[in-house]
Amino acid sequence: MTLSRLNPGPRMSEAVTIADAVFLAGQIPTTLTGDITVQTREVLTEIDAVMAELGGSKADIASVQVWLTDMADFQGMNAVWDEWVDKENPPARATCGVALARPGMRVEMVAVARNPNA
């Protein structure tokens, strides 16, 4: 079984592919002063960029874990998600409230996808 890493760094890789599966690293916003809609758009844009670099798209995403620092942001995150999600190929999804690594970060998402190159 072949394992390959996309943009490996000293701490982690952007994504790891194993056979027909792709595991994306947690995608985070860049605008830590933005509200949940700004941050959610940034995170989803990052997911799109990683999938494009792998040769795929959001249609290849099988599962997403959404982590929110405040569950009061659930509705705002869902409004952006609903605009973004591929209606023909929605992934499985779970959302939970957690303490995130950086102050100001309101959302982080982790995705598992089909390897478009397998």
pLDDT tens per residue across span 53-108 = 999 999 999 999 999 999 999 999 999 999 999 999 999 999 999 999 999 999 99
Which alpha helices (H) appear in the chain, and where do they start and end? 36-53, 74-84
Q: Which residue has the tokens 């970060």?
A: 105
User: In CATH, what number is assigned to the domain containing residue 100?
Assistant: 3.30.1330.40
Number of domains in the chain: 1
Q: Give the residue numbers spanning the domain of 100.
A: 3-114
pTM as predicted: 0.93
Question: What pLDDT score was predicted for residue 69?
Answer: 98
- For the chain, what is the largest distance between any 2 Cα atoms, rounded to a whole number of angstroms? 42
pLDDT tens per residue across span 94-109 = 999 999 999 999 999 9
3-state secondary structure 71-83: HHHHHHHHHHHHH
Closest CA to 109 of 36, 29, 34: 29
